[in-house]
Structure 1
Amino acid sequence: MSELESKGGATIEKGDTVSTPYRGGKHEGEVEQIITDEKQAKQLENAKGAGHAPAVVFTDQNNKKVAHKPNTVTNLDKED
């Protein structure tokens, strides 16, 4: 499996804290799942956002499950 990279070029792994701007605010949370193939993406339920692989799935600060493309998130654990 190839490693997914954030907007800043850091690798993204399960358990990392990520953030992305969204509609004037942001989504921030701990990575719960990394979707790497289309079959997984189609089976993803209850997550708003990216519907195609690759995707990073996490529960944001508002307790909503979201999915974003890896190149749109910042890995707060590995980037400044």
Structure 2
Amino acid sequence: MSDLKSKGGATIEQGDTVSTPYRGGKHEGKVEQIVTDEDQARSLDAKGARHAPAVVYTDQNNKKVAHKPNTVTDLDKEW
């Protein structure tokens, strides 16, 4: 279980559906990976955050993205 919190304070876990605003739209998808190791974060094959912690998911456009936990909204736990 992860101790990372979303923008609204919910605990983020693998499999949760998350969303973050991006350039007038949003990235939304299911969490595939939660990265807490700095070396692992630098080697991510995803657009976005390059420092731990990071939440990695594939968005609705089939692009793998990584964002800081405090920038995402956990749609499964926040309304």
TM-score (norm 1): 0.95
Aligned match of 1:54: 53
Identity of aligned residues (%): 84
Cα offset, 1:54, TM superposition = 0.4
Q: How many residues are paired up?
A: 79
1:66 maps to a residue whose letter is V
Structure 2 segments unaligned to the other structure (5+ residues): none
Taking only aligned residues, the RMSD between alpha carbons, in angstroms, comes to 1.2
TM-score (norm 2): 0.96
| Alignment partners' CA distance in 2, 1:16 and 1:61 | 14
Structure 1 segments unaligned to the other structure (5+ residues): none
| Alignment partners' CA distance in 2, 1:22 and 1:42 | 21
Aligned match of 1:11: 11
2:40 maps to a residue whose letter is Q
